[in-house]
Structure 1
Amino acid sequence: MAGSPELTAFCQKVWEPVLAKARRAVVFMDTPCAEILHWCGGAEMLLSAGALNVKEFSSFESGAPSQPKAVFVVSCAPRGRAVEVIRDVVSQSSFQYCVLVTAVSPGEPEDRACYQQLEDKLCEWMGNMNYTAEVLWAPLLLAPVAPHLLLAPAFSSLFPLLPFQDLQGLNRSRPDKKRFPGLGDVDLSSMPHELQLLIRKLVCGLHGFLEGTGLREECYAVGHLSRVIAGELANHPQAKIRRKNAQIKSSLVFIDRTSDLTGAVGHHGDSLVEKILSMLPCIPGHTNDVMVNMEELTALRPEGKTEGIIAPGCLAQPKDPAAKALWESLLTMKQKEAIMEVRRHLVESASRENLPIKMSMGRVTPEQLRSHILLFKDKGQAIENHCGVLQLASATAQVLKHPQYSKWDNFLAFERHVLQNTGKSELPTVLNQLYPMIKSHGERSNDDYSLDDILVLLVYIYSVSGDVLVNNQLDIAESQVKKALIQAFCDEPELSTLAQKITVFLRFLLGLCPAVISAGRCCTIKVGNTFLYSENINI
């Protein structure tokens, strides 16, 4: 396997085609590519390469009359909605030179012809066929979160087909004799079109990554979707030549997300990074970084017109060696060691700036970390010199004081209880223990579980329970949990992002709500200003 520095270097090198075209250009970038760039060096890389501005890839953006060049960076194939956005931006601007960089390679001859046609279209939208347009490919796939941890933000929504709902949906449109008995019989061509495109896009990105790093892979798969992806990668048109020329052997293991839901929703007690990622708010549009409040280091009072004026900090510090080393340590250390490491970096930073730091022995508290951080307040040069460490230290202090932090042990205790009783007690017993914890917004105290917390616990319970025996006792337990959840949904003044996404879950619950049944055939659930779900119901 290639060494970790080589992997990180590759993730940064793939941006060279973009940087080469960025000079004197306005750069429009979609969200997945922006997140990858965030971990590779951020917008500073583009600005240092001569970019005039970096903007969101959106139909509502455009270039100024004095900006004749545009670079579009997208994680998807140049078709459909992406092309519509490019057309809107170009039509509203005065560009004479457009470059489109896509993360999806034109593998087939018809794709290459499509790219050529798009260049002509760009000139047409610019208003002069003599203007310049280019369509390039770069394998913008992976964000180097750490030397041994690479993430693919563009595929955060990729999820395996489910054995009941999805299989039933696929079979609905097929003749009886051609219906799939199980998910294992579903091939790529039979999957929903959007899922097919996403899989091909992932395979294309992985092929580019393996080619760029000189790896010859041996694929292993756990789960149906993983087997499909591994098969597509093995049969990629250019894979045979790549493997023949590759010098380094590697193992590539694909695992379906549904094979490890417990690991994703469970609470693991000894990881500081897990708590930071779980408790602090995500950067909008990102899936793997958070916003760190940095207002305490300034003289501004965050109220009125000044509220939100200070840009938040984050975890990604690719250009700060000290902060990068601290972040990599936090990923592997236990929580107690990680907090002590944060303090050590703070003390070293303060000592370099000759700040009057007071050392104390014993356990590191959030108050101690905060007092060390506040030594840098209003000291602009010191903040600039140690900005990365201060962001990570602030994230640590804020998590240790977060209201959700005190609940972490409660989650851990309940999950351990579920694990201990899974083999001894049946699922109804566990659901009956969960039922009193489901409280409506008006009944809930700070120590009670929120609606999101309950949903996460339910996923955990059913994940560790595996196949369950359906009986009258289970029906009664599930029924009362469903009714309590419906009431909690309806009483919530404003739904979280997680709750808003669970429309499938709401579809499952609708028939059990008395308010829905009395409403007749047409049902709409409204929470605050948010409409959750609307459909015709047969009573």
Structure 2
Amino acid sequence: MSIDVQKFNDDVWDFICSKVKDAAVFIDEHAAECLHWNGGGMKLINAGASSVREFSQSEIGPHNQDIAVFLTCSPIVGDLYKLMESVIRASNFMSCLAVTGAGKKVHSLAKSLLTESTLNDSSDDPFVVLEAEMKSWMQEKVADSSKMVDAKVVSMPIFAVNFGGEKNHILLTPPFAHIFPAIIPSTQRLQKQAMSYHGKKAYNVNQSQTTSGETKLSKKIQLSMAHMADSLHRLLYKMGGRVEVYAMGHLSSLVAGEVSKRRAESWSNLVSQSGEVGLDASLILVDRTLDLATPCSHGSFALLDRIMATMAHLSGHTTDVAVDMTPLCYPKRPSCKVVGFPPGSLAHNPVIGEKTGAQGELLDLLAGGRRQKEVILGLHRQIMSAAISLRVRSSAPKAERITPKHGLCVSQALSHPTSQMFDYMSGAEKVLLQSLSLEEGKATAASEKSKEILSQVLL
């Protein structure tokens, strides 16, 4: 049994869509990227939102708009808190809903780390405090003091992108893309702590280590780690059952310790609510610095590797690329000058009433490590199937029939100048490996051959 990540995401966005009717929606960059893979901005418009705006200093609500919904992956503290205050004070809202991807514990930790607040988890509810402040900001613009304003803060796990369709085999987390173990002297003590579990390739952290230990990590990184642990816990809680947590690397051990602690706290509640819970699973976290071999290789075992390495990313995105759609928008005017280009992307544009899992089959082709010829034939089958279902006739030869967006993406990635360099580097890697595997008696010759190849690469 696997975690149905798409169902998990659908539940989150269905809840949000049920709250946006007739509202001005303000959404931050990370939440917008998650929405991009779960229906896009039109999902909110189709749900009744009057407008969808960037959650930024330059945006305020329309003069006659009295309902607002704020969507963010982050805890509403610090600069984000000031930004929401600025937007509400400059607008005429009577009702505000703030949906955050961070839970109450993360908010309390953020308050203690990033502000001088004395908020205490045991005595003050951070959401209740924020709701009272939001009401006070709205009340300032209400001439009639007898009119009631309303504010609500809720937490929903907005953090996951299901990149693998129904197979659920690739889970991306845009809000945590910046987290990377720091390779600096200040982490040496943590590395020694991790190495204290000598003799084990991975160690079980179910004995409660936490991210709040005496670390020398920055406050923002500590908060991000706690936020990630909270998000993973909520995903695992939705899955149900007992989960064993393991980690490799000092940073992963801290995150895993926090996940394990939260799982232990919720286990008794889960059993009391569900009775017997038979599902067991393991969560293994590995520091990215311990898996540098694959990112440093130019083999591109999956075509998606080549696409991500050669194509420009969509502005503000970490998980999607910009596809030049000019050939489709101007098919009969190849000589016309176009300023910029109409951008496409890998994300599927769902039909109203359909779930977003339809994009998974196409992404599986790109991410599945298949040969280029097999991927192109698969794309051909997809467009022919879609053409038949839509009763579309194509006058193009069969060899030229490929999917518009994904076909353009594949062709642009393979024809990109950088792609040729990848082929060259991949060949150089193979020759280097072969030279290093020569017999003992030919070690000198192998060394000379390696130097020759490396000199060519450096040129």
Same fold (TM over 0.5): yes
Q: Which moved more, 1:240-249 or 1:180-189?
A: 180-189
In the TM superposition, residue 195 of structure 1 has moved relative to its aligned partner by 1.7
In the TM superposition, residue 111 of structure 1 has moved relative to its aligned partner by 8.7
Aligned partners of 2:191 and 2:250 also within 8 Å: no
1:328 aligned onto 2:364: yes
1:64 aligned onto 2:62: yes
Of 367, 384, 394, which residue of structure 1 is paired with 2:408? Answer: 394
Aligned partners of 2:191 and 2:249 also within 8 Å: no
Q: How does 1:62-141 map onto structure 2 within 5 Å?
A: 62-107=60-105, 109-110=121-122, 113-126=125-138, 127=140, 128=142, 130-141=148-159
Aligned partners of 1:318 and 1:324 also within 8 Å: no
Letter in 2 for 1:390: P
Residue 264 of structure 1 aligns to a residue whose secondary structure is coil
Q: What is the match of residue 196 of structure 1?
A: 222
1:165 aligned onto 2:177: no
Of 252, 268, 273, which residue of structure 2 is paired with 1:241? Answer: 268
Distance change in 2, residues 1:416/1:118 (3 Å):
same
Aligned partners of 1:122 and 1:133 also within 8 Å: yes
In the TM superposition, residue 427 of structure 1 has moved relative to its aligned partner by 10
Distance change in 2, residues 1:28/1:183 (3 Å):
farther
Of 315, 318, 335, which residue of structure 2 is paired with 1:284? Answer: 315
1:44 aligned onto 2:42: yes
Give the distance between the partners of 1:70 and 1:409, measured in 2 at CA. 51
Give the distance between the partners of 2:448 and 2:279, measured in 1 at CA. 52
Residue 71 of structure 2 aligns to a residue whose secondary structure is strand
Q: What is the match of residue 225 of structure 1?
A: 251
Distance change in 2, residues 1:2/1:359 (3 Å):
closer
Give the distance between the partners of 2:228 and 2:171, measured in 1 at CA. 14
In the TM superposition, residue 349 of structure 1 has moved relative to its aligned partner by 4.3
1:34 aligned onto 2:32: yes
Residue 27 of structure 1 aligns to a residue whose secondary structure is strand
Letter in 1 for 2:35: L
In the TM superposition, residue 420 of structure 1 has moved relative to its aligned partner by 4.6
Distance change in 2, residues 1:436/1:400 (3 Å):
closer
In the TM superposition, residue 347 of structure 1 has moved relative to its aligned partner by 3.9
1:144 aligned onto 2:162: yes
In the TM superposition, residue 255 of structure 1 has moved relative to its aligned partner by 0.9
Give the distance between the partners of 2:299 and 2:123, measured in 1 at CA. 46
Give the share of equivalent positions with the same residue, in percent.
Answer: 29
Q: Which moved more, 1:73-82 or 1:236-245?
A: 236-245
Tell me how large the CA RMSD over aligned residues is: 3.1
Give the distance between the partners of 2:286 and 2:409, measured in 1 at CA. 31
Letter in 1 for 2:85: R
Q: What is the match of residue 377 of structure 2?
A: 340
Aligned partners of 2:26 and 2:53 also within 8 Å: yes
Give the distance between the partners of 2:58 and 2:410, measured in 1 at CA. 37
Distance change in 2, residues 1:307/1:58 (3 Å):
same
Q: Which runs of 5+ in 1 are unaligned?
A: 169-178, 361-367, 374-388, 440-539
Distance change in 2, residues 1:65/1:405 (3 Å):
same
Distance change in 2, residues 1:49/1:400 (3 Å):
same
Distance change in 2, residues 1:397/1:122 (3 Å):
same
Residue 285 of structure 1 aligns to a residue whose secondary structure is coil
Give the distance between the partners of 1:181 and 1:199, measured in 2 at CA. 17
1:271 aligned onto 2:291: no
Give the distance between the partners of 1:341 and 1:78, measured in 2 at CA. 44
Give the distance between the partners of 1:253 and 1:60, measured in 2 at CA. 42
Give the distance between the partners of 1:202 and 1:217, measured in 2 at CA. 17
Higher relative contact order, chain-length normalized (CA < 8 Å, sep 6+): 2
Distance change in 2, residues 1:181/1:153 (3 Å):
closer
Q: What is the match of residue 394 of structure 2?
A: 355
Aligned partners of 1:323 and 1:392 also within 8 Å: no
In the TM superposition, residue 326 of structure 1 has moved relative to its aligned partner by 2.5
Aligned partners of 1:167 and 1:183 also within 8 Å: no
1:410 aligned onto 2:424: yes
Give the alignment's TM-score, normalised by structure 2: 0.78
Give the distance between the partners of 1:231 and 1:61, measured in 2 at CA. 40
| Matched residue count | 400
Of 236, 239, 250, which residue of structure 2 is paired with 1:210? Answer: 236
Q: What is the match of residue 455 of structure 1?
A: none
Give the distance between the partners of 1:266 and 1:395, measured in 2 at CA. 22
Distance change in 2, residues 1:428/1:259 (3 Å):
farther
Distance change in 2, residues 1:77/1:299 (3 Å):
same
- State the Cα deviation string for residues 191-235 of structure 1 (Å, max 9, x = none): 322221111101111111112222421112112211221111111
Distance change in 2, residues 1:91/1:111 (3 Å):
farther
Letter in 2 for 1:161: A
In the TM superposition, residue 7 of structure 1 has moved relative to its aligned partner by 2.5
Aligned partners of 1:216 and 1:243 also within 8 Å: no
Of 329, 340, 354, which residue of structure 2 is paired with 1:308? Answer: 340
Of 183, 192, 207, which residue of structure 2 is paired with 1:182? Answer: 192
In the TM superposition, residue 187 of structure 1 has moved relative to its aligned partner by 7.0
Distance change in 2, residues 1:327/1:181 (3 Å):
closer
Letter in 2 for 1:411: M
Give the alignment's TM-score, normalised by structure 1: 0.67
Aligned partners of 1:302 and 1:308 also within 8 Å: no
Distance change in 2, residues 1:61/1:435 (3 Å):
farther
